[in-house]
Amino acid sequence: MNTIAPAQLLSSLNWRYATKVFDPARAIPVETWAALEETLVLTPTSFGLQPYRFLDIRTPAVRAKLREHAWGQAQVTDAAHYVVFTARTEMTEADIDHLIARIAEVRSQPREASQGYREMMAGALLASGRKAHLPAWAAHQAYIALGELLTAAAILGVDACPMEGFDRAKFDEILDTQKDGYTCVVSAALGYRAAGDKYATIKKVRYPKAELVKVV
Amino acid sequence: MNTIAPAQLLSSLNWRYATKVFDPARAIPVETWAALEETLVLTPTSFGLQPYRFLDIRTPAVRAKLREHAWGQAQVTDAAHYVVFTARTEMTEADIDHLIARIAEVRSQPREASQGYREMMAGALLASGRKAHLPAWAAHQAYIALGELLTAAAILGVDACPMEGFDRAKFDEILDTQKDGYTCVVSAALGYRAAGDKYATIKKVRYPKAELVKVV
C-alpha cells in the first residue's frame, strides 16, 4: 500500500479550516465525492453496527428550509454538498440480526457462525439499563464518521465545515428521520472555498501540544 | 498543497482494520508519531474550544492496570501507543477565557477583539439548561479527534484499533482525570499488526452505500 509522508498529512491538515464561504459554482468531481461517500461507509464503529445514516441533501428547497434552522448559515445552501449525520435512537434485536445477516452475506458463512458474537452484542446493547445510553453511543459513532470525513476531505483537497449549530428537532421534522428511528446529530458542508473567504488566511488557534497531549 | 488520488485514500481505508494483535516489538517512527499527535491537536472543535486531553499512556505498569479494566484486551499493553481520550465534564467562564487568551496570543490581537465571540460562547455553553448537555458535547469533540486520528493513521500506514470497551469509572480512577475536570470517553491503540493477526485478512463488513448514504 502507498502511504504519504507525515509532512504531507500535516500540510493538508493545516490547509483545512472551517470554511465559511463556499464557491457555489464549483462542484466536487464525481470520483472524489464517491471516495468521500466511501469514507463514510468505511468508518469503524462499535461492534461494526453502523448505527447511522448520512443524508446527502441535494434538493435546493430542502437546503433552504434547513438553513432557516441553522442560524441562516450560508454553507447549508452554498456548499457543493451538505451532509446531515443521523444516528439511531434505539437498538433492537432487529438491528443486531441485520448485522449478522450482512456478515453472513459478505463472508459467505452461515449466520450460526456468528452466534457468539450475536450474544455478545445483545448483552452489551439490549441489557436493561443500557437503553438510556444507546442514543449517545450511536451519536458517538456518527462523530467518528465526521472526523474520518474531515481528514479524508483535507487530504483530497476538498474544503469542509463541520456544523453543530442547528435545531435538531426541526431538522428531524424536515427530514422525517424519526419514522425510521434516526435523529440528526451533526452536519458538514463540503465543496471549495470562495476566493474571498477571510477565514481562509487567519491563523489557526490550537492549544500547545504539551497542553493537549499528556504522556502518562 | 499536494493532494492524493481518491483511489489511494480508499486503498488506505480498506487496508486498515481494528487491529487485534499488535507487534509489541515494533515502534512508530518519531516523525510519524509526532504527525499523529499533531493530527489530534489540529482537530476542529465546536467554537474551537478543544474540550479534551489525550493521554499517551507509556508507563507499562499503568497500561497493565488499564488492561484489567478493558476486558483484558491485549492491545492495551502490546501496541506501540495507547491513547486515552478524555473530555471536559463541565465548562466554565475560565475555559472560555482560556481560549480567548490563546486567540489573542496566536493572532497577536487584544483580548477585547474577541468580546463578541466570548459572549456567543458564553450564551451557548453557560446558559442555564445547557449544563446537563456539556459532557456529551465535549465527548463528541473527542470522537471527532478519534475519527481524524484513525484516518490519519491509515494513510500513514500505521495500524490502529479504536476501543470503547473499558470501565470508564476505573479508568478515571487510575488516571486521576477527574481532579482536572476530565473523564475518559474512548481510547485507541496504535502501532503495527503482528504477522499472525487473523483479523487482518477477513473481509470487512459494511452495509451497502445505498443503505447508509441517502440522497435527499
pLDDT tens column, A74-131: 999 999 999 999 999 999 999 999 999 999 999 999 999 999 999 999 999 998 888 8
Nearest CA in chain B to A185: B140
CATH of the domain at A192: 3.40.109.10
Euclidean distance between CA atoms B124 and B4, whole angstroms: 38
Mean pLDDT of B76-101: 97
- Indicate whether B107 and B200 sit together in one domain: no
The pLDDT of residue B214 is above 90:
yes
On whether residue B5 sits in a domain, the answer given is no
A residues 161-180 lying closer than 8 A (beta carbon) to B? 162, 164, 175
- Indicate whether B183 and B133 sit together in one domain: yes
Q: Are A54 and B214 within 8 A, CB to CB?
A: yes
- Indicate whether B33 and B138 sit together in one domain: yes
Say what the pLDDT of residue A53 is.
98
The pLDDT of residue B129 is above 90:
no
**DSSP label at A208?**
-
On whether residue B3 sits in a domain, the answer given is no
- Indicate whether B38 and B65 sit together in one domain: yes
Say what the pLDDT of residue B131 is.
87
Q: Are B1 and A10 within 8 A, CB to CB?
A: no
Show residues of chain A in contact with B59, CB under 8 Å.
216
Mean pLDDT of A163-185: 97
On whether residue B10 sits in a domain, the answer given is no
Mean pLDDT of B19-23: 98
- Indicate whether B156 and B108 sit together in one domain: no
Domains of chain A: total: 1
Euclidean distance between CA atoms A171 and A67, whole angstroms: 10
What is the average pLDDT value for chain B, to the nearest integer? 96
Sign of CA pseudo-dihedral B100, B101, B107, B109: positive
Structural domain including A82 reads: 19-91+126-212
Which is higher by pLDDT, B197 or B129? B197
Show residues of chain B in contact with A136, CB under 8 Å.
136, 139
Q: Are B212 and A53 within 8 A, CB to CB?
A: yes
The pLDDT of residue B130 is above 90:
no
Band (B128; pLDDT cuts 50, 70, 90) = confident
On whether residue B2 sits in a domain, the answer given is no
Euclidean distance between CA atoms B7 and A209, whole angstroms: 32
Q: Are A34 and B6 within 8 A, CB to CB?
A: yes
A residues 36-55 lying closer than 8 A (beta carbon) to B? 37-44, 46, 48, 50, 52-55
Q: Are B4 and A146 within 8 A, CB to CB?
A: no
Nearest to A166 by CA among A90, A104, A82: A82
